[in-house]
Structure 1
Amino acid sequence: MQLIPFYRKKKEKPDSELLGLYLETREPEVLGELYARYMHLVYGVCLKYFKEPEKSKDAVIQIYEKIHLEIHRHEVKNFKSWLYVVTKNHCLMDLRKKKPGETVRVSTEEEWGLFMENEAELHPVDRTPDEMPEQALEKCIERLKAEQRKCIDLFYLKNKSYREISGVLEMEEKKVKSHIQNAKRNLKICMEEKK
């Protein structure tokens, strides 16, 4: 005789399925379930930048409210990666509000590793200020071709999707992707020269 367990662990839906369901239904519970999977990572990123647990906890709530408003305006393919970019941008924008000349220390890669398991190698645009001088990066961005510079600015600094950039620059999405890939390659080469 086979015994049937009195409970079964609820099988989690993949991120992409939950994301699709939320975009279709706009049910806050669905987005809440998806966000809950990565709240510890969001908190970790915030703690890395702010160094203050209370401020980081507040930021976790602010970021949830932000994604609730912004997720419909972006073509999100990988929720975790998109959430990381939104979180990082939120923290950097908050830190930029500090007084001019005030320095901000960012954690080391070892500390970062505690929060982001298997984090892929970051592109120079995604690196933190203490890993790479901002002036050097700005000079490398200035050296890019005009189209590449515009695409990088809209994609990384203004957090626009390929589709949005395509509309703003009146350019095919394929071209936008190509310009961003080429710009990333050129920035990497430029930054390596400046090491």
Structure 2
Amino acid sequence: MNMIPDELWVKKAVEGDLNAFDEIMKRHQAKIYNLAYRLLGNAEDAEDATQETFIEAYKSLKSFQYKSKFSTWLYRVALNTCHQQIRKAESRKRTLTAFADNFKILNSDNGMETPDSVAIKKEQETLLQAAIDKLPEKQKQVIVLFYVQNLKYREIAEIIGCPEGTVASRLNTAIRNLKPKLKDLMHN
């Protein structure tokens, strides 16, 4: 893997080196796609959002001020792009299996999946997604960034533009709002 820091690639890209921007895309495309997929819920919208994120990033590259990591800045561009798509669409499904796995609420039969356990797991995922869909948008954001993208509070705060305490508060509120639903899932 290329060990040149992102910020050096950014500098080269700003100077007009298209290969440098290609390198930036290679490094971050999978993570941006994953974020978009988790927020938007389907591959086609995620691909569009990923492409739009990199177009926006390229156009705005000169505005990157090196005050935070480039990846944090890029996540913010991606988050804004996804928000635009969410506002345009009336209904979206979100796939947050990783979130469910973090709470270990989905059945696991010691690694052995039977047709029944697969059906139960799928039903639980659907119920969890429905519960998360009912959360306010700001709570959904922190759930995805923390549990799916595995970002730290500091990074999330930079991405969404709020203090770390607000991130913690939103995350706790989201979990508190989901707890009754999660308990139902664990008992079923």
The TM-score with structure 1 as length reference comes to: 0.50
Aligned positions of 1:70-85 closer than 5 A: 70-76=60-66, 77-85=68-76
> 2:20 & 2:61 partners in 1: Cα distance?
13
Equivalent in the alignment of 2:41: 51
Distance 1:112 1:97, change over 3 A: farther
2:53 to 45, 63, 75: 63
Residue 5 of structure 1 aligns with which residue? none
Question: Judging changes above 3 Å, is the alpha-carbon distance between structure 1 residues 186 and 58 closer, same or farther for their aligned structure 2 residues?
Answer: closer
Alignment CA distance shift 1:66-1:130 (3 Å) = same
Q: Percent identity?
A: 14
Q: Which residue of 1 aligns with 2:132?
A: 130
The Cα of 1:49 is off from its aligned counterpart by 2.5
Tell me, yes or no, if the aligned pair for 1:136 and 1:191 is still in contact at 8 Å: no
- Counterpart position of 1:16: 7
Taking the aligned partners of 1:180 and 1:130, their CA distance within structure 2 comes to 23
> 2:19 maps to what in 1?
29
Distance across 2 between alignment mates of 1:67 and 1:97: 21
Structure 1 residue 72 displacement after superposition: 1.5
Deviations 1:64-111 (A, max 9, x none): 111011122232431222222221221122111123xx4x33232616
Which residue pairs with 2:96 in the alignment?
108
Considering only CA atoms, is the larger Rg found in Structure 1 or Structure 2? 1
Distance 1:31 1:112 in 2: 35
Change (3 A) 1:136 1:41: closer
TM-score under structure 2 normalisation? 0.52
Structure 2: unaligned runs, 5 residues or longer:
102-130, 140-158, 180-188
Q: Does 1:41 align with 2:28?
A: no
Q: Which runs of 5+ in 1 are unaligned?
A: 1-9, 114-128, 138-154, 160-178
Whether contact under 8 Å (1:43, 1:57) holds in the other structure is yes
8 Å contact kept, 2:42–2:93: no
Specify whether residues 131 and 55 from structure 1 end up closer, same or farther in structure 2 by C-alpha distance, changes over 3 A only: closer
- Give deviations 1:127-174, integer Å, cap 9, x for gaps: xx928832897xxxxxxxxxxxxxxxxx83xx7xxxxxxxxxxxxxxx
Q: Distance in 2 between matches of 1:71 and 1:97?
A: 25
When the two structures are aligned, how many residues end up with a matched partner?
Answer: 133
Alignment check: 8 A CA contact 2:42 2:94 kept:
no
